[in-house]
Structure 1
């Protein structure tokens, strides 16, 4: 009898271990952009509750995500800078947009309320080039009548890592200011003339919170979550607009996803009276040829679920969910692009 009990216990334990091991094996891994980290975390929590499958996502910056997916150390990479078609082909990758949101300037100035201060592209460029160094500079005062601006130095905060958020920021400033374009340019990692670095959106937000008289740029969810003072920004049509899901949607309205190879759509400096000028999509990168069709399918199931069920969560965190026609384009691309070792479609 005792022997039978021991055998039964061993079988039950082995079965439990196998179930636990299978659950761990089913968890998917991703790495990259910090821009979408808050919404990916929220989706992951809800998805695990619904399906039992977890997501281990490393918020290490777009540059790190691109490196890790190319090295095949994660199931997917994430980047806020879309890769060009030739780069995708060279690496054997496909990309698709997962979520949209806005990058916003944030300031730490006593007495200045969130959304009270106004910024123009030229003023931001001047600050980040180190040419505007005081908060009461005439160029800042001119667009902020009635706002009490201190006679203190400006501390510039920028990203220290390879970053899609930096790409969107520098892409916008390069489009709107000739000096910034020639002296700094657009990219995930640039040579900043002035300032202190922070790793990830988290690091920039933390530095701006800590340093009086500072200015930085982060994805809007970080500003909102940390109660940081964002600014208004003058858009392409000449209007000062506030960042929110309405102005992000306005910027995304004219995006030609179906006509752009590799879905390489950049949403900065879009026309429209209410468009937020530094809007962007965050992209997922996956290998076209998959060694493990099951793991690839788990990744696609996660994003399929998120497209269908994550819209309200996205809005809650001030992101913009991908429109249904774009989701259809994405899922068609999954069917035609992502295949197992034998060439059979994974999705």
Structure 2
């Protein structure tokens, strides 16, 4: 029997292609790199989440830039990252200016008030009005009578009050100024609540890292950061007086108590602020907030979109245990159910992600 050279060539090509396909399938899943940017508040737990997820999904690398919520929102808007993180949820007006996105609450935590008073031997306590007046620049000395009233019998240091605040657009600032606006009519009318405000007084720092640095190097300084930043830098935190009249320190439990006070409202709209809970939440820390992942609803790269969905699925389920270890409060069941519904709306090239 004669075999033509053409037949041999075709058969050889088929074998070659078959071998290439086998090599590709045996090399494992396609490598994927995801990029995210935004909240410094969530950066400690985001670092843990990305590390733990990539240990299991070895083909996925996730790079997260801790640049502040405002920067993260802008990068999502510009399409330069796969996801953003913000402590300030996008309102309907902001959403109308963007391509369709999904907002998913992924953790909650306290915005703690930390300070640099080495001479103070007892934990500092402050009421809402006193804190507002300090940030308004009305209380200038640590020996002011209003601070002394919150700390009976405590010898307060003879130091000027130095305010430290964020310089860039920040979701942490949004939570903090939303609280001050809720407890101080003067703050609400003169300064207001936003990711960026015109501060009446103070030194600026970029990111929670920058604010922490300002406080560490400035005696008499007071500012606001996420709790893990204060703990890592061995800075004390203020016990804040809540609506029940109790001085409550920031913690996972006291944040959970704040969330529980707003369960019904959060079930209707997870963007509901959880600052200044009612007096019925006796053990709630009053300056807490949810932080959100902001994800484009659709994307062209199916491999990336599938990996991103898997990562977010991990964050809102198994990742919540890691969050609790780093001073973030686990999400309540109602919010988790909302997250799952939103996550299922993600598409790749217009098609559902399996």
TM-score, length-normalised on structure 1?
0.89
Asked whether 1:87 is paired with 2:94, we answer yes
Distance 1:64 1:192 in 2: 19
- The answer for the alignment partner of 2:348 in structure 1 is 340
Give the direction of change, closer, same or farther, for the CA distance of 1:312–1:94 in structure 2 (3 Å limit): closer
Q: How does 1:91-106 map to 2 (within 5 A)?
A: 91=98, 92-106=100-114
Instruction: Give the structure 1 partner of residue 64 of structure 2.
Output: 57
Does the aligned pair in 1 maintain the 2:164–2:215 contact within 8 Å?
yes
Instruction: Report the equivalent of 1:152.
Output: 159
Aligned with 2:37 (options 21, 31, 40): 31
- Does the aligned pair in 1 maintain the 2:38–2:73 contact within 8 Å? yes
Which residue in the other structure is 2:294 paired with?
285
The correspondence for 2:201, drawn from 177, 188, 194, is: 194
Partner of 1:296: 305
Which of 59-68 and 325-334 deviates more? 325-334
The superposition leaves residues 152-206 of structure 1 with CA deviations (integer Å, 9 ceiling, x where unpaired) of 2111100011000000110000110011111111000000011110111111111
Q: RMSD of the alignment, in Å?
A: 2.1
Distance 2:94 2:68 in 1: 18
Please give the residue correspondences for 1:102-141 in structure 2 after superposition, counting only pairs within 5 Å.
Answer: 102-113=110-121, 116-141=123-148
Contact 1:47 1:302 in 2 (8 A): yes
1:315 aligns with 2:328: no
Q: How far apart are the structure 2 equivalents of 1:257 and 1:85?
A: 16
Q: Distance in 2 between matches of 1:94 and 1:309?
A: 21
In 2, distance between residues paired with 1:27 and 1:270? 40
- Report what 1:69 is aligned to: 76
How far 1:108 moved relative to its partner?
A: 0.3
Instruction: Name the SS of the counterpart of 2:200 in structure 1.
Output: coil
In the TM superposition, what is the alpha-carbon distance from 1:310 to its structure 2 partner?
2.1
Report whether the alignment pairs 1:239 with 2:246: yes
Query: What is the correspondence of 1:214-253 to structure 2 with a 5 Å cutoff?
Result: 214-253=221-260
- Give the unaligned 5+ runs of structure 2: 1-18
The answer for unaligned runs of 5 or more in structure 1 is: 1-10
Q: Which residue of 2 aligns with 1:7?
A: none
Could you tell me whether the CA contact under 8 Å between 2:107 and 2:320 is conserved in 1?
Answer: no
Does the 8 Å CA contact 2:309/2:346 hold for their aligned counterparts?
A: no
Quote the Cα distance in structure 2 between the aligned partners of 1:135 and 1:20: 62
- The residue that corresponds to 1:3 in the other structure is none
Residues 307 and 93 of structure 1: is their aligned pair in 2 closer, same or farther, counting only changes over 3 Å?
A: closer
Report the Cα offset of residue 313 of structure 1. 1.9
CA distance in 2, matches of 1:129, 1:329: 38
User: How far apart are 1:258 and its partner, in Å?
Assistant: 2.8
Residue 6 of structure 1: aligned partner: none
Give the structure 2 partner of residue 48 of structure 1: 54
Task: Identify the match of residue 167 of structure 1 among 165, 174, 184.
Answer: 174
Q: Deviations over 1:273-322 (max 9, x none)?
A: 11111110110111122222331221221121223322332122111122
Q: What do the CA deviations read for 1:97-117 (whole angstroms, capped 9, x no partner)? A: 01110001101001335x711
Shift in Å, 1:334: 1.8
CA shift for structure 1 position 123:
0.8
Mapped contact 2:204–2:211 kept (Cα < 8 A): yes
Q: For 1:89 and 1:330, locate their aligned partners in 2 and report how far apart those are by CA, in whole Å.
A: 21
